[in-house]
């Protein structure tokens, strides 16, 4: 089991909120991966859009690409 510190848990909460918003918008998870360094989900929408949502613990950053174009990046923890 992976153990996270308080700062990482805060980042995970923000990440999960963003992921849930995408799921509510009709996206479906294609790939889900997490370990001590990264949390990553690849999603697809029925309209063809593909999103990669990623949280990296090394720099505490959430980033999102849509159709391989960076659209969001924020330091959260």
Q: Is pLDDT above 60 for 67?
A: yes
DSSP strand E in the chain: where? 28-34, 38-44, 50-56, 61-66, 69-75
Q: Hey, what are 68's tokens?
A: 């391989």
Quick: pLDDT tens for 11-46: 999 999 999 999 999 999 999 999 889 999 999 999
Q: What is the pTM of this model?
A: 0.89
């Amino acid at each position: 089991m992976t153990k996270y510190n308080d700062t990482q848990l805060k980042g995970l909460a923000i990440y999960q909120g963003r992921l849930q918003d995408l799921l509510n918008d009709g996206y479906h998870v294609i790939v889900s991966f997490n370990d001590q360094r990264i949390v990553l989900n690849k999603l697809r929408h029925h309209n063809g859009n593909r999103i990669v949502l990623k949280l990296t613990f090394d720099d505490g950053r959430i980033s999102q690409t849509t159709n391989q174009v960076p659209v969001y990046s924020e330091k959260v923890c």
